[in-house]
Amino acid sequence: MPDPAARPIAPPAPPIPLAALLAREDLGLRLVAGTTDPEAVAVQWVHTSEMADPYPYLLGGELLLTAGVLLTDPDAYAARVVEAGGAAIGFGVAPVHDTVPDALVAACERLRLPLVEVPPQTPFTAIARAVWRLMAQVRLEEVRRVSEAQQGLAAAAARPDPVPAVLQQLASRLGGWAVLLSPDGSALQSAGRAASRDAREAMEQLARVVRPGQEEEKDGAARRTPASATDTLGGHQLAAYALGGTDGLVLGIATEGREPGGHTVAGMAVVLLSLLTAPHQGADATGRSAALVRLLLGASPADVAPALGPGPWVVVHATRPGLPPDRIAASALGSTLGSALVDADGATVRILLPGDRRIEPQPGWTLGVSAPAVPAELTAADTAAARALRRAEATREPLARQRDAGLAELVAPGEAAVHARNLLAPIAGLPALTETLRVWLSLHGSWDRTAVALGVHRNTVRQRITRCATLLGADLDDADVRMEFWFALRWL
């Protein structure tokens, strides 16, 4: 007798619901016993047999087609089909039996084994062909669904907040709840329909047992911890997947059922989230961590230069308008820019990159980029990146780079504008005086050239400048005073 444990659980093709066959009007099939929900009966393949005991010839999940040639004990026959894991019986009416035997109907009803009447005009081969065609349609739908999910997840991974975007896309595609869990089982981020308290607790338990590539001692022997785990709770399917290359993060998914291609979609999300949350440290980056970045940008460069390398290096400061920084988003930004040297402990994310790396604007982020610097100059580069970020925020540009623009570059634009308004307040409401002062200073105090530029008499220029000096209470013959007002007019 075949070993039931050795029977394949499912064929390579996706199963179809019995209801799909019953809905085919050309087949004329009729459900007569065994179930009230044919949609829940999965048909994995078709088998025709006239043996008195079909058990040795069944693998499980079949729609067993028979005309009852050797049917002598309906109760035993139905019991053997159930024991073999058969999905349903399709009983052909004529030429052996004019109707489905009542004893078989009663046995199938008692055993909850679906029993379908096959009319005389429907050959068994037509049923088999219909099953294969329906399976092909399901497979095509599964491929389409997986393809669309792949595109959606990839687009989500390219968004400014890729991790929550991927979780939201995953929850939407699977129609459930997706959550990113820490090693202790606590939820870091989630998306989709909120799971029940029991489901959340069960998911926390699953998260504690999955750890890919790790071994633990148990009963004096080493065993490898699983990379995934599943559970069922209250009609919900729970699954936990360890993310590779991370500090023990786990992806949890809760759905109401198993949709075709769902496992494949989940696998895609695991790969993406592993890439988005991993530190991405190669062999040449051993010892370069966020702690090293903080040390580099605040300690003696001579102490850390050997671990960093000769460079040159570029410092990037980044903020997300309207959103606080977090470790996962900062790690994803570092991954996009191509660096694992990320510091996200402050209000600004700081990233260290090789000097030859091309840095482009990133959606949802505002970046300030320093010029390439050797390790001994990293403190100055950090300051330059901060100034560039302030300029980008003030001008609402997605990216600003360090530039050599003289002393004006050393002053924060917002602070400079406030200073300029206060300094020039006495003439702020007099456009003629303000413009005359600006042109006069730009032409190095030349009365004649200023008069020509403004199209007025030179005496008018003298009168206006004298008026400015009086209202401002300043000596405009002093070069230092002139320079201060020139900068103020630029910032204003």
Q: What is the mean pLDDT of the chain?
A: 81
Residue 136 is predicted with a pLDDT of 85
- Checking if the pLDDT of 246 tops 60, the result is no
- Checking if the pLDDT of 233 tops 80, the result is no
Residue 292 is predicted with a pLDDT of 52
Residue 413 is predicted with a pLDDT of 61
- Checking if the pLDDT of 343 tops 60, the result is yes
pLDDT higher for 492 or 61? 61
Confidence of residue 4 (pLDDT cuts 50, 70, 90): very low
Confidence of residue 12 (pLDDT cuts 50, 70, 90): low
pLDDT higher for 179 or 247? 179
- Domains belonging to the chain, first-starting first, are 4-132 (3.40.1390.20), 159-277 (3.30.450.30), 283-404 (no CATH), 413-491 (1.10.10.2840)
Residue 253 is predicted with a pLDDT of 87
- Checking if the pLDDT of 311 tops 90, the result is no
Max CA separation in the chain (angstroms): 127
Residue 282 is predicted with a pLDDT of 43
Confidence of residue 387 (pLDDT cuts 50, 70, 90): confident
- Checking if the pLDDT of 53 tops 90, the result is yes
- Checking if the pLDDT of 153 tops 90, the result is no
- Checking if the pLDDT of 168 tops 60, the result is yes
Average pLDDT over residues 407-429: 73
Closest alpha carbon to 305 in 288, 284, 282, 291: 288
**pLDDT tens digits along 252-289:** 888 876 666 777 888 888 888 877 776 544 434 434 44
Confidence of residue 313 (pLDDT cuts 50, 70, 90): confident
Distance of CA 70 to the CA centre of its chain: 58
Which is it for strands 88-92 and 115-118: parallel, antiparallel or unpaired?
parallel
Residue 305 is predicted with a pLDDT of 59
Residue 338 is predicted with a pLDDT of 76
Amino acid type, 212 = P
Residue 22 is predicted with a pLDDT of 94
Name every residue whose Cβ is closer than 8 Å to that of residue 322 and which is 6 or more positions away in sequence: none
Average pLDDT over residues 84-105: 93
Q: Which of 11-15, 99-103, 159-163, 361-365 has the highest mean pLDDT?
A: 99-103
Confidence of residue 26 (pLDDT cuts 50, 70, 90): very high
pLDDT higher for 266 or 327? 266
SS3 assignment for the chain:
CCCHHHCCCCCCCCCEEHHHHHCCCCCCCEEEECCCCHHHCEECEEEECCCCCCHHHCCCCEEEEECCCCCCCHHHHHHHHHHCCCCEEEEECCCCCCCCCHHHHHHHHHHCCCEEEECCCCCHHHHHHHHHHHHHHHHHHHHHHHHHHHHHHHHHHCCCCHHHHHHHHHHHHHCCEEEEECCCCCEEEEEECCCCHHHHHHHHHHHCCCCCCCEEEECCEEEECCCEEEEEECCEEEEEEECCCCCCCEEEEEECCCCCCHHHHHHHHHHHHHHHHCCCCCHHHCCCCHHHHHHHCCCCHHHHHHHHCCCCEEEEEEEECCECCCHHHHHHHHHHHCCCCEECCCCCEEEEEECCCCCCCCCCCEEEECCCECHHHHHHHHHHHHHHHHHHHHHCCCEEECCCCHHHHHCCHHHHHHHHHHHCHHHCCCHHHHHHHHHHHHCCCCHHHHHHHHCCCHHHHHHHHHHHHHHHCCCCCCHHHHHHHHHHHHHC
Measured CA distances, 14 to 24, 132, 245 (Å): 19, 10, 32
- Checking if the pLDDT of 178 tops 70, the result is yes
pLDDT higher for 3 or 340? 340
Q: Taking the CA atoms of 367, 368, 372 and 376 in sequence, report the sign of the dihedral they define.
A: negative
Q: Mean pLDDT lowest for which of 30-39, 158-167, 312-321, 382-391?
A: 158-167
- Please tell me the pTM assigned to this model: 0.48
Residue 121 is predicted with a pLDDT of 93
- Checking if the pLDDT of 291 tops 50, the result is no
pLDDT higher for 379 or 328? 379
Task: Please report, rounded to a whole number, the percentage of residues in the chain having pLDDT higher than 70.
Answer: 82
Residue 443 is predicted with a pLDDT of 85
Residue 99 is predicted with a pLDDT of 93
Confidence of residue 309 (pLDDT cuts 50, 70, 90): low
